[in-house]
Structure 1
């Protein structure tokens, strides 16, 4: 006898981020389209009162009143993020409803600032969790006992799953799907959606190259050049000459503005470029090592073992970008 569909409940309210809703919804609805005769999920999109809710993008979505949902059958609750300024946005009525019904729900998830809703219930107290990188400090003001993992794309602690900013809800949904239906099912959905098969919860949600390129204009051009010339000499004397400064002044100025030494910033940029190349390019690892400034494959291997705990080939196998 086939297993009955797992009931996935999205609980919405006004001002929620559209992609926080539609990203996970698209992932979890795909298996139903692949297997229409035996859909593995029953998906409900609800709000406290039902009817139309208005997302942060202005798009309105029709919802079912939560009173019409059979809660005994709900397997997974998903709470998208939203609001303005990365602050709590859910009503007290919504928080109370979650607190009341959480014990009977097998799995409870949030995306982005949906973690604020969970934190308001007290359900994250003492637990590992994550949220959007801009919202971590505010989340801890709600509950200082939360063990915040600021760099994680998603975190699982028991029945509670929390995802970071916006698009990481897709990563979370793929992880839920893999836990429910297995690796092959998750791979098939990733292929249909043309996304990474799997980015682990431990992968940083905000890259070093992206962060440092948002800094002051004097360094922005230098960072752009560095990113395009990772195989070049990126030592302090070389970078200082390009910046028109003495090595000592450059190293001090750079560390003050970036928060990293030039050497650490270069290492982070090279490592990220190599990570992306391994996931998206069929080039030999030796070639990627040279293009990204590691010099040889052994240097690349040492960097990956130190940062990720896996060799470049294992990383490539896990993070292969599957194209339709």
Structure 2
């Protein structure tokens, strides 16, 4: 049996406990109690969430109490430092457990304990900049749903913990078990770890109607080559002026932003239609299927075939 210990601290984010349902349904899919789950806290007893819900916990007696430790985040990880005794426990647990997981801002506890030094990690997008600033030895990837670096797993905020838990089930019990759990939980669109935390259009958030109009035009004409000259002409700017204004307002070059829009559109077509990958590539403006595959690996960390296979497995 694989023991999962949830480390809860006062003010923990209650949504993180929803990940326990993933393991509950994994046991049903496996037709045996593969996972056992217990809640822990530094002192034991009742621990209150940010919502006020109280959960009974065991005290932290020894790191070997669990094979996987799920360190649960709080709404504001910067409000107070983690007690040194808790950090000592996390360090010891991290050296002995099979996996140590920072769920949402729980990654800050792992960072304070030194477990993320020299590793790749993610966290809730609202705190990623602060993690990068406070811990320059961590390679923070703030646009990922979850990340795996050896025995250390970290997730983005809120519902991303469910995707991480499904990733653990797939690692332990296989893809069929993970798809079965996703179906039972009505997770009709299971997200891979490499998937962005944001909608590309929302993330760009230009300040002016002019640049917003250029983005709207691009999204509606993705099958075209969409050169800077074409986009600049749409909004009545010179190519040089358009590039400067676009980059200042969105933080991205036009080429980078257009690739993001193409990726988002291609992913949705792959998940929601039965068009061939050649057709998807053509309709979303990639040169060919190979070019789209390279972009998917850069952007999502998985090829288009994996996205389609998973989408069909979950919805089928």
TM-score, normalising length from structure 1? Answer: 0.81
Q: More displaced, 183-192 or 302-311?
A: 302-311
2-structure distance, mates of 1:313, 1:101: 37
SS in 2 for 1:165: coil
> Is residue 79 from structure 1 mapped to residue 74 from structure 2 by the alignment?
no
- Once the two structures are superposed, the pairs formed by residues 28-177 of structure 1 within 5 Å of their partners are 28-34=23-29, 38-56=32-50, 58-66=51-59, 72-84=64-76, 90-177=82-169
SS in 2 for 1:84: coil
CA contact (8 A) 1:131 1:150 kept: yes
Alpha-carbon offset, residue 31 of structure 1:
1.8
CA contact (8 A) 1:301 1:312 kept: no
**Paired residue for 1:303, among 287, 292, 299?**
292
CA contact (8 A) 1:209 1:269 kept: yes
> Is residue 189 from structure 1 mapped to residue 181 from structure 2 by the alignment?
yes
> Is residue 215 from structure 1 mapped to residue 210 from structure 2 by the alignment?
no
Structure 2 portions without partners, runs of 5+: none
Per-residue CA distance 1:41-84 (angstroms, 9 max, x = gap): 1111222234443333x2514122325x7754411110122232
Q: Which runs of 4+ in 1 moved over 6 A?
A: none
Aligned to 1:10: 6
2-structure distance, mates of 1:47, 1:73: 12
2-structure distance, mates of 1:241, 1:302: 27
2-structure distance, mates of 1:221, 1:55: 43
Alpha-carbon offset, residue 130 of structure 1:
2.3
> Is residue 253 from structure 1 mapped to residue 242 from structure 2 by the alignment?
no
Over 3 Å counting, the alpha-carbon distance change for 1:314 and 1:52 in structure 2 is closer
> Is residue 240 from structure 1 mapped to residue 245 from structure 2 by the alignment?
no
1-structure distance, mates of 2:145, 2:91: 25
What is the RMSD computed on CA atoms of the aligned residues? 3.1
Over 3 Å counting, the alpha-carbon distance change for 1:249 and 1:124 in structure 2 is closer
SS in 2 for 1:43: strand
Over 3 Å counting, the alpha-carbon distance change for 1:307 and 1:41 in structure 2 is closer
Structure 1 portions without partners, runs of 5+: none
SS in 2 for 1:293: coil
Per-residue CA distance 1:284-315 (angstroms, 9 max, x = gap): 33443344234xxx524313224417764454
Q: More displaced, 158-167 or 242-251?
A: 242-251
